[in-house]
């Protein structure tokens, strides 16, 4: 079934409330920390208080003698018994050498490289006993100089022997010579230096895991707050522990948000699983919030120079970008892909810029590892490009919307000069709708009203594009992924006609139990209540690549569609047998099988029952049962796009920015559930606006201590920081997946930061403020005003 036929079915496009919310709202959700196993002990990790230090000695004797303590494990216990954490994406430097891949030990081996690095694991009967004992572990450190700022990485003391100068790789895309030539001939060049600030993901549920071991069958089970349990199992068994995969089951039960930070295989997960066998018990660890600040993978942290060459009319001729990316102390699972494949390939944006060259240098520093955070590379690309485009507009004497419109891609498919091919889009329609919803025509009157109150008002645009549906394995493989990112779906039709769907996608707030059920119910013509969705368990779901990169509906949903095709084909054969017709004469719609050109028909439920209770069944031609599995590997990414418009009021006396209005018009292709999509956009906007105005992860330059290690210092966006959003939709369905969907899970976080900063800069244009880094906090804005007016 094609996307256009699907879109016409009942349930598709229906704003159903989330099925899963009943259990969440009534406190019946089951998160990892809610699970209590027999013979369960508790772990606490001893973490480095130093950003960089040699470990001279570790004395665990006092801790091991304390009440309830089962064992204290250190680096010596795991050395030689397991590998380090792997990085899933290989980057080759422009000189042909592979990236530097220093070891990432499960417990520190001789050295610690960031505050929070895991040094020892204490296991005890109760959490309090484990915590007390952790405090009694004595570690003698020889403190070394730390480097935290990516701009200083080269000059800093090397973190790893394998990475001299703290350099991991230089990677580039695009043809440099023609780009330089275009710059030499351009009528105007706009240059912008910018920093994309480091963020801490802060999911509502902190990371948690329970490693369990069953001696009877030599099997391990890991319960873990994770976004992709099969990949977690694959990496842990194949790369770290060397265990056969069938002996390890990974269950990611209800997970309270991840935003990228729970995609990865973390050292704690491995240590707990391995130690469970050593102690023949279950071991639970629940991360504390302050521990999460230190040890969760962080996001962003880029420093870039961007230049645009234009002709006299503001038409983009060439884009040149250099970025220094902070990878933190070690390579996390996908960290190398973020500033390269997921960032540089998006720098064409919505524009026809014919020549682009991007070079990225990636560095190690004494900070927590940096990896994907909602958007992963694409917010960084959009922030750079959309800030640059607005700066271009102002330097060329054009309005922010006019310069964008002059450069929009209008013909599809469109091949960018940075590898990607966009299948569909209508960027003018998104812009026009956004301007209308944002009531841009009335802006001048609102600006004057603000001026009369001594306030500055500004309008900021951002026309973003992102590549979602990660990732076609032919493209991903060519670009360095160690595995293709397909998805798996299984449809199990029960004899009574109800259905269980097993998906390799993982829902940790995205509402898959509802939207995936909508797709299945629509296709089979059965009530949504008759469909249950199972995810997050390697013991129940055949395989999966998990959830990130807004891939679930477009890749996981497409796998389900493929399995449904198989179900429909087999069910038609059963129906043909029951109605004594030929297979070719059977039609299926609205939950009924009909013989073409007759009034003979039977319902889906009868076919399901017959599949399991065969009656005069032609066993030579037809197997009993109605259960099908499919794997779907996309042929391309999906390309959601849109225009976001922010309107702010700035108090020049205090530097306080008030976000007055925010409009987002997005194109997500076919929409399965508009209510869920709206919720996804709201959440993304809150995070993007949080980055633009409030959130900032700061390490002390000298000591490498995390200065923003709690919610007292790290400002999360709250409801009263945000206006009521105005949302609009444009739909150009994706051409290559059977649902026509494009991902919606990250768009808000991608489009919004540059819109907000452009608005602040627009407000302060006449004061002389030309530049501002995120977050536009009151002191930063106030200082920029003082500097401009001095």
Binding site for ligand MCN (CB under 6 A): 203, 257-260, 374, 508-512, 515, 547-554, 668-673, 676-677, 680, 683, 741-746
Phi, psi torsion values for 130, nearest 5 degrees: -65, -40
Closest CA to 390 of 768, 645, 683, 53: 645
Q: Give 72-112 as a DSSP string.
A: EEEHHHHTTTS-----SB--B-TTSPBPP-----SS--SEE
Q: Which one, 197 or 552, has the nearer CB to ligand MCN? A: 552
What is the nearest approach in angstroms of ligand MCN to the Cβ of residue 118? Answer: 24
Task: Specify burial of residue 194 (Cβ count, 10 A radius: 0-12, 13-18, 19+).
Answer: buried
Total Cβ atoms within 10 A of residue 669:
29
Q: What is the rounded distance in angstroms from the CA atom of residue 240 to the CA atom of residue 56?
A: 26
Q: Nearer Cβ to ligand MCN, position 427 or 593?
A: 427
Least CB distance to ligand MCN at residue 420 (A) = 18
Q: How far is the CB of 743 from ligand MCN (least distance, A)?
A: 3
Which is closer to ligand MCN, CB of 68 or CB of 674? 674
Q: Is 357 exposed, middle or buried (0-12, 13-18, 19+ CB in 10 A)?
A: buried
Question: Which H or E element spans position 665?
Answer: strand 657-667
- Smallest gap, in angstroms, from Cβ of residue 98 to ligand MCN? 28
Minimal distance, residue 272 CB to ligand MCN, in Å: 22
Q: Which residue number, 550 or 643, has a Cβ lying nearer to ligand MCN?
A: 550
Nearest to ligand MCN of 648, 747 (CB atom): 747
Give the containing element (helix H, strand E) for 183. helix 176-185
Question: Least distance to ligand MCN from the beta carbon of 201, Å?
Answer: 8
> Which lies closer to ligand MCN via its Cβ, residue 649 or residue 667?
667
CB closer to ligand MCN, 83 vs 379 = 379
Report the SS3 class of residue 648. strand
H or E stretch including 415?
strand 414-415
Q: Would you say 554 and 634 are in contact if contact means Cβ atoms under 8 Å apart?
A: yes
Q: Are 181 and 169 in contact (CB under 8 A)?
A: no
Q: Which is nearer to ligand MCN, 107 or 488 (CB)?
A: 488
Shortest Cβ distance from residue 89 to ligand MCN (Å)?
Answer: 16
Nearer to ligand MCN, 190 or 505 (CB): 505
The answer to whether 484 and 478 are in contact (CB under 8 A) is no
**Assigned token pair, 313:** 């009319």
Please give the residue whose beta carbon sits closest to ligand MCN in the complex.
509
Sheet-wide strand order for 531-535: 531-535, 499-503, 487-493, 627-632
Min CB(279)–ligand MCN separation in Å:
32
Q: Coil, helix or strand for 2?
A: coil
Reply yes or no: is the peptide bond before residue 36 cis, omega within 30 of 0.
no
Nearest 5°: CA angle at 337, between 333 and 343? 140
In the complex, least distance from residue 680 CB atom to ligand MCN, rounded to whole angstroms: 5
Q: Report, in Å, the least distance between residue 64 CB and ligand MCN.
A: 38
Closer to ligand MCN at the Cβ: 374 or 457? 374
Residue from 429, 398, 432, 411 nearest 316 by CA: 398
């Amino acid at each position: 079934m094609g996307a256009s036929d699907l879109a016409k079915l009942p349930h598709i496009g229906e704003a159903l409330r989330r099925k899963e919310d009943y259990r969440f709202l009534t406190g019946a959700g089951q998160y990892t920390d809610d699970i209590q196993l027999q013979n369960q002990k508790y772990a606490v990790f001893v973490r480095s208080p130093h950003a960089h230090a040699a470990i001279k000695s570790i004395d665990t004797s006092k801790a091991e003698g304390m009440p309830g303590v089962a064992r204290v494990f250190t680096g010596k216990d795991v050395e030689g018994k397991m590998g380090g954490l792997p990085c899933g994406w290989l980057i080759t430097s422009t000189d042909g050498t592979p990236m530097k891949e220093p070891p990432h030990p499960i417990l520190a081996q001789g050295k610690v490289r960031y505050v929070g690095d895991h040094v020892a694991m204490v296991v005890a009967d109760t959490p309090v006993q484990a915590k007390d004992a952790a405090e009694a572990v004595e570690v003698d450190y020889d403190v070394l100089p730390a480097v935290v700022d990516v701009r200083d990485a080269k000059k800093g003391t090397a973190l790893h022997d394998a990475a001299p100068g703290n350099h991991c790789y230089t990677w580039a895309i695009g043809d440099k010579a023609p780009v330089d030539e275009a710059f030499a001939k351009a009528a105007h060049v706009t240059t912008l230096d910018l920093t994309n600030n480091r963020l801490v993901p802060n999911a509502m549920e902190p990371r948690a895991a329970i490693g369990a071991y069953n001696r009877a069958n030599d099997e391990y089970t890991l319960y873990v707050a994770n976004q992709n349990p099969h990949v977690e199992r694959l990496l842990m068994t194949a790369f770290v522990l060397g265990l056969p995969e069938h002996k390890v089951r990974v269950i990611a039960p209800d997970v309270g948000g991840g935003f990228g930070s729970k995609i990865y295989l973390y050292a704690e997960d491995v240590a707990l699983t391995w130690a469970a066998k050593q102690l023949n018990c279950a071991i639970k660890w629940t991360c504390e919030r302050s521990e999460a600040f230190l040890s969760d993978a962080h996001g962003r942290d880029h420093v870039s120079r961007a230049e645009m060459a234009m002709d006299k009319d503001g038409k983009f001729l060439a884009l040149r970008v250099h970025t220094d990316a902070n990878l933190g102390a070690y390579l996390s699972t996908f960290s190398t892909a973020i500033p390269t494949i997921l960032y540089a390939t998006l720098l064409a944006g919505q524009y026809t810029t014919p020549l682009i060259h991007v070079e990225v240098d990636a560095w190690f520093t004494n900070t927590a590892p940096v990896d994907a955070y909602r958007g992963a590379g694409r917010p960084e690309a959009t922030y750079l490009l959309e800030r640059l485009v607005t700066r271009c507009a102002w330097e060329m004497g054009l309005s922010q919307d006019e310069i964008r419109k002059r450069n929009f891609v209008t013909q599809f498919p469109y091949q960018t000069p940075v590898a990607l091919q966009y299948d569909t889009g209508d960027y003018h329609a998104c812009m026009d709708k956004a301007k209308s919803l944002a009531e841009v025509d009335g802006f001048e009157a609102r600006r004057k009203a603000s001026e009369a109150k001594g306030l500055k008002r500004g309008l900021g645009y951002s026309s973003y594009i992102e590549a979602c549906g990660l990732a076609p394995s032919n493209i991903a493989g060519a670009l360095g992924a160690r595995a293709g990112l397909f998805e798996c779906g299984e449809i199990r039709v029960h004899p009574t006609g109800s259905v269980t769907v097993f998906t390799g996608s993982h829902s940790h707030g995205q509402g898959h139990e509802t939207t995936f059920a909508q797709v299945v119910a629509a296709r089979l013509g059965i009530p949504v209540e008759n469909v249950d969705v199972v995810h997050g368990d390697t013991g129940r779901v055949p395989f999966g690549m998990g959830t990130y990169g807004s891939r679930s509906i477009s890749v996981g949903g497409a796998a389900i569609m493929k399995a449904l095709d198989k179900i429909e084909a087999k069910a038609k054969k059963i129906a043909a047998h029951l109605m004594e017709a030929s297979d070719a004469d059977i039609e299926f719609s609205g939950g009924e099988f009909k013989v073409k050109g007759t009034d003979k028909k039977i319902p889906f439920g009868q076919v399901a029952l017959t599949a399991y209770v065969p009656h005069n069944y032609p066993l030579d031609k037809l197997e009993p049962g109605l259960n099908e599995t499919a794997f779907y590997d996309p042929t391309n990414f999906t390309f959601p796009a849109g225009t976001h418009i922010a309107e702010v009021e700035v108090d020049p006396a205090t530097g306080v920015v008030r976000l007055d209005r925010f409009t987002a018009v997005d194109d997500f292709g076919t929409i399965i559930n508009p209510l869920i999509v709206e919720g996804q956009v709201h959440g993304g906007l809150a995070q993007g606006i949080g980055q633009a105005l409030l959130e900032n992860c700061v390490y002390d330059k000298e000591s490498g201590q995390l200065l923003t290690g709690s919610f007292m210092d790290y400002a999360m966006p709250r409801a009263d920081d945000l206006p009521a959003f105005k949302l609009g939709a444009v739909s150009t369905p994706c051409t290559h997946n059977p649902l026509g969907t494009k991902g919606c899970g990250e768009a808000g976080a991608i489009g919004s930061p540059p819109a907000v900063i452009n608005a602040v800069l627009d407000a302060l244009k006449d004061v002389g403020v030309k530049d501002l880094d995120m977050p536009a906090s009151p002191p930063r804005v106030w200082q920029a005003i003082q500097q401009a007016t001095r």
